[in-house]
Amino acid sequence: MKILVTGGAGFIGSALIRHLIQDCEHHVLNVDKLTYAGNLESLSSIEGHERYRFYQADIADRELMSRLVNTFEPDAIMNLAAESHVDRSIDGAADFIQTNIVGTFQLLEVARQYWTSLNSDQQSAFRFHHISTDEVYGDLEDDGSLFTESTSYKPSSPYAATKASSDHLVRAWNRTYGLPAIVTNCSNNYGPYHFPEKLIPLMILNALEGRPLPVYGNGLQIRDWLYVEDHARALVRVIEEGKVGETYNIGGNNEVRNIDVVKGICSILEELRPCLPVGVERYVDLIQFVADRPGHDLRYAIDSSKIQSDLGWQPKESFETGLRKTVEWFLENQDWWQRVLDGSYNRERLGISD
């Protein structure tokens, strides 16, 4: 297939593209605005590949997106472009509204115009795959209940509300115009190339440098963690075999409390990096509880039985194995994260010379 991936320079998008190029035969056009979260260095392993191209563009720029789509003539569009950090959405939601809602709307219109121009065989083969989050469902009590594909939407944060809006738009374009769309809602991802503002990389890098490990509230919030490469495999399974008009929940079946995630990182580091930063006796001593995030959801947990039974997908990593791989990756790839921390990863994008 020829697949146009938006947001492919981000955390999940880059994992998806590495998988599409290295493990599959698909052709990829990566369209990314390169916001602070976009990092082409996450794609250095495939950047010169003959089946891969990159174009810098904003999904909300309808004219440019239309030109790119009509020139590339994709069999599928996978939309991962988004503002994705909950804390940033609380500080200011404008970019979230613009990209997640307006951007998705513009992209849907571009896709619809292009899809309408295809012949009937091409039309029935075409897919618009919108990648979303379990945060659209709000939160769950700590009672064993799970989010299913029919759970009502009840988003808590501005981020989740904008993703919920975009999901509704995609379903409406499927129902009203017949655009062959599929939505996936996934739980928290973690793994290599994760931007250091997110919980797991932040804790690894702070611990390595002997800085405090800030944990929101009492740290008892529960997330269902999925290794990013398992998510990438699920997305490819959906684009290849998913049924039009359907929603698939994707989760790792790994419910872990935030405090236990942080303690888990500390104990892996004790083993892999026993030489602690000066003045630190144990990594866990760096844990500090800080004021909770407003509207912080208590628990997310995904029922992913539908994608497992309908499409035969299963996560390969347990949280234990995935967390160890992640910590090892950050220990072995200091160049990547140093260039994110010092800002040099996006100097070219910003036109800054040394």
Q: Active-site residues: which are they?
A: 134-135, 159
Q: Mark the segment that binds ligand NAD (CB under 6 A) among 22-30, 54-62, 205-213, 239-247.
A: 54-62
Residue type, 202: L
Place of tokens 């916001």: 35
- Give how many residues touch ligand NAD by CB under 6 A: 31
Q: Output DSSP code: residue 299.
A: B
Rounded distance, CA 84 to CA 96, Å?
8
Per-residue x/- track, 80-119, ligand NAD (CB under 6 A): xxxxx--------------x---x----------------
Contact present, 21 and 32 (Cβ < 8 Å): no
Angle between helix 11-22 and helix 228-241 axes, rounded to 10 deg: 60
Specify whether the CB–CB gap between 139 and 156 falls below 8 A.
yes
> Residue 16 interacts with ligand NAD (CB under 6 A)?
no
Cα separation, 127 vs 181, in Å, equals 6
| Cα–Cα distance measured from residue 346 to residue 42, given in angstroms and rounded to the nearest whole number | 12
Closest CA to 147 of 7, 253, 17, 2: 253
Minimum Å gap between C-beta 41 and ligand NAD is 12
Q: Which of residues 195-214 bind ligand NAD (CB under 6 A)?
A: 195
Between residues 186 and 287, which has the closer beta carbon with respect to ligand NAD? 186
Q: Which of 3, 4, 10, 202 binds ligand NAD (CB under 6 A)?
A: 10
Q: With binding defined as CB under 6 A, does residue 34 bind ligand NAD?
A: yes
Q: For the CB of residue 115, give the shortest distance to ligand NAD in the complex, in Å.
A: 20
Choose between 99 and 326: whose C-beta lies nearer to ligand NAD.
99
Task: Give whole-number Cα distances, 23 to 15, 18, 19, 46, 325, in Å.
Answer: 11, 8, 5, 11, 19
Q: Is 300 in the site for ligand NAD (CB under 6 A)?
A: no
- Assess 163 for contact with ligand NAD (CB under 6 A): yes
Residue 163 C-beta: closest distance to ligand NAD, Å = 5
Considering only residues 170-189, where is the footprint of ligand NAD by CB under 6 A? 186, 188-189
- Give the nearer residue to ligand NAD in terms of CB position, either 171 or 273: 171
What are the DSSP calls for 196-211, one per residue?
TTSHHHHHHHHHHTT-
* Cross-strand pairs, 55: 31
Q: Where do contacts with ligand NAD occur on this chain (CB under 6 A)? A: 6-7, 9-13, 32-35, 37-38, 58-60, 80-84, 99, 103, 131-133, 163, 186, 188-189, 195
